[in-house]
């Protein structure tokens, strides 16, 4: 049984006046007693008016502050024990919301709607997302099926632990997913089919693609720094060693460049080692205070094989 009054639906929206009414009405029809928050991120159309007329609680930004900033505003304004995030452009179906909440009730802490094949807006974006998923899976040691999906549900108390980490731009899903993994919280994926968005996308593929990649490395250094620093150290070390062998055979000497690369390799490794210890201290409290529900979710996850949506 879904505890509807404990659920807060947070919908960031920017210039979605043509579709926000359909989105709000869809949520109301599925979860009529839920707290519905539409965050108007500096829209220049009637997005806020339409949402307000349909009974949504509207939080307005005086100017566009970014998707992540809208998410943070919505979280601060919410009162539910469960937070559900969905886009205001009509891509996400309210029919899938109960499926996400059911997984939370089963013991998970974060449930992500993983887009199935054919749900990507373009071939380029699909390829990029596959790369992000694989890189994030390497960082976390867990299978990440959809790193950048904005359709997700989370336990409010745990999501709020990481609100200060969230960027103001489009990379909040990346950050929140990897933070949950790092804290030892249970994460699972529910396959979803997304609709074609209404209107023009606010994402710039090149600019935001680079931003996503930078966020992955940023969170990677917080998650498991040695997984970044050790391969780099390994590469520099063997490059220096190879160069030394080359110069020894051809010139019969040990060059300054070889010494520099070998020394750099050692320093990079030590930086990663120190960073790893700092990271362990940062997340010590989160790991030591996991709830029984989290442990239940982890046990369930170990016995469940999710669908690879990519």
Q: State the average pLDDT over residues 23-42.
A: 94
Give the pLDDT confidence score for residue 298 in this predicted structure.
38
Tokens of 83: 């937070």
Confidence of residue 80 (pLDDT cuts 50, 70, 90): very high
Residue 304 confidence (pLDDT) above 50: no
Q: State the average pLDDT over residues 33-58.
A: 94
pLDDT tens column, 261-280: 999 999 999 988 888 887 77
* Pick from 77-81, 105-109, 166-170: least confident: 166-170
Give the pLDDT confidence score for residue 276 in this predicted structure.
80
Give the pLDDT confidence score for residue 2 in this predicted structure.
44
Give the pLDDT confidence score for residue 122 in this predicted structure.
58
Residue 307 confidence (pLDDT) above 80: no
Backbone angles phi, psi at 12, to 5 degrees: -75, 140
Confidence of residue 93 (pLDDT cuts 50, 70, 90): very high
Residue 195 confidence (pLDDT) above 80: no
* Pick from 118-127, 200-209, 289-298: least confident: 289-298
Report yes or no: 147 and 310 within 8 Å, Cβ to Cβ. Answer: no
Residue 253 confidence (pLDDT) above 90: no
More confident residue, 200 or 268: 268
pTM for the model: 0.75
Residue 73 confidence (pLDDT) above 90: yes
Residue 287 confidence (pLDDT) above 50: no
Residue 310 confidence (pLDDT) above 50: no
Give the pLDDT confidence score for residue 199 in this predicted structure.
54
pLDDT tens column, 132-161: 888 888 888 888 899 889 999 999 999 999
Give the pLDDT confidence score for residue 120 in this predicted structure.
53
């Amino acid at each position: 049984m879904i505890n509807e009054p404990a659920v807060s639906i947070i919908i960031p929206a920017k210039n979605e006046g043509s579709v926000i009414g359909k989105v709000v009405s869809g949520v109301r029809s599925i979860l009529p007693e839920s707290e519905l928050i539409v965050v108007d991120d500096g829209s220049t159309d009637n997005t806020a008016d339409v949402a307000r007329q349909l009974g949504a609680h509207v939080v307005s930004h005086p100017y566009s502050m970014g998707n992540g900033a809208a998410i943070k505003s919505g979280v601060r304004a919410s009162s539910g024990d469960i937070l559900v995030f969905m886009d205001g452009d009509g891509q996400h179906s309210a029919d899938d919301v109960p499926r996400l909440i059911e997984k939370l009730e089963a013991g998970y802490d974060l449930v992500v709607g993983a887009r199935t094949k054919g749900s990507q807006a373009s071939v380029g974006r699909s390829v990029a997302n596959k790369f992000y998923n694989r890189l994030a899976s390497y960082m976390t040691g867990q299978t990440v099926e959809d790193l950048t999906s904005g359709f997700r549900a989370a336990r409010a108390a745990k999501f709020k632990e990481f609100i200060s980490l969230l960027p103001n731009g489009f990379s909040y899903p990346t950050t929140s997913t990897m933070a949950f993994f790092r804290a030892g919280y249970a994460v699972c994926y529910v396959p979803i089919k997304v609709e074609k968005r209404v209107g023009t996308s606010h994402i710039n593929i090149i600019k935001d693609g680079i931003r996503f990649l930078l966020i992955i490395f940023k969170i990677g250094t917080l998650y498991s720094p040695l997984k970044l620093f050790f391969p780099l150290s390994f590469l520099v070390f063997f490059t220096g060693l190879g160069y030394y062998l080359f110069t020894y055979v051809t010139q019969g000497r040990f060059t300054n460049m070889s010494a520099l690369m070998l020394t750099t390799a050692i320093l990079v490794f030590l930086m990663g080692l120190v960073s790893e210890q700092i990271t362990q201290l940062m997340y010590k409290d989160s790991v030591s205070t996991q709830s029984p529900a989290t442990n239940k979710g982890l046990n369930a996850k170990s016995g469940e094989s999710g669908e690879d949506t990519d």
